[in-house]
Amino acid sequence: MFGRNPLLAIVTIALTTTACQPPAQGADALSDEHVAAIRARQDGFVEAVLANDWAAASEIYAEDFVLMVPEAPVMQGRETWREWAMSFNATVTEYNIEIDEIDGRADLAFVRGRFSETLLFEGQTEPISGGGKFLSIWRRGADGSWLIVLEAWNSDEPT
């Protein structure tokens, strides 16, 4: 199967056995308190978005945050996200996040879920609604707070 490339065989075996490991337990496990803290941060983000408060919404992101959105270059930094969010000149009238999964370890976690939103763009009379899915990677800081360091999302709507 691997022909003359033993390195490929070793890497494949290593990745397979690592992927089959059970979730972290003990001191490295993602505790219920960590999950609750992440959910609380996510809830605060939703509240800030519904208030169209982009400064408050951006506080969920680490300073070195990386965002990968459809049909756009990679964005880096909390401030870049804030400027991008404000550039839409839209009022968010509805916004919801459904979390499907949270997992990880005591200092690194991922959140997988879905979102829906309704926006009223400046100069328009009819709002636009849509939704999609997202995956975010969270890091726990030295102060114990959880921040998103990487996020990718895409729409369920056709382009």
Give the pLDDT confidence score for residue 13 in this predicted structure.
45
Give the pLDDT confidence score for residue 4 in this predicted structure.
53
Q: Give domain status of residue 16, yes or no.
A: no
The domain spanning residue 92 has which CATH number? 3.10.450.50
**Cα–Cα dist 24/104, whole Å:** 7
State which residues form the domain around 120.
29-155
Give the pLDDT confidence score for residue 26 in this predicted structure.
60
Give the pLDDT confidence score for residue 25 in this predicted structure.
56
Q: Give domain status of residue 72, yes or no.
A: yes
**Cα–Cα dist 154/71, whole Å:** 9
Q: Give domain status of residue 92, yes or no.
A: yes
Q: Give domain status of residue 42, yes or no.
A: yes
Q: Give domain status of residue 19, yes or no.
A: no
Q: Give domain status of residue 75, yes or no.
A: yes
What is the tally of structural domains in the chain?
Answer: 1
Give the pLDDT confidence score for residue 28 in this predicted structure.
87
Q: Give domain status of residue 15, yes or no.
A: no
Whose tokens are 């605060």? That residue is: 44
Q: Does the pTM exceed 0.85?
A: no
Q: Give domain status of residue 24, yes or no.
A: no
pLDDT along the chain (159 residues), means of 10: 46 42 65 97 97 96 96 94 92 97 97 97 95 98 96 91
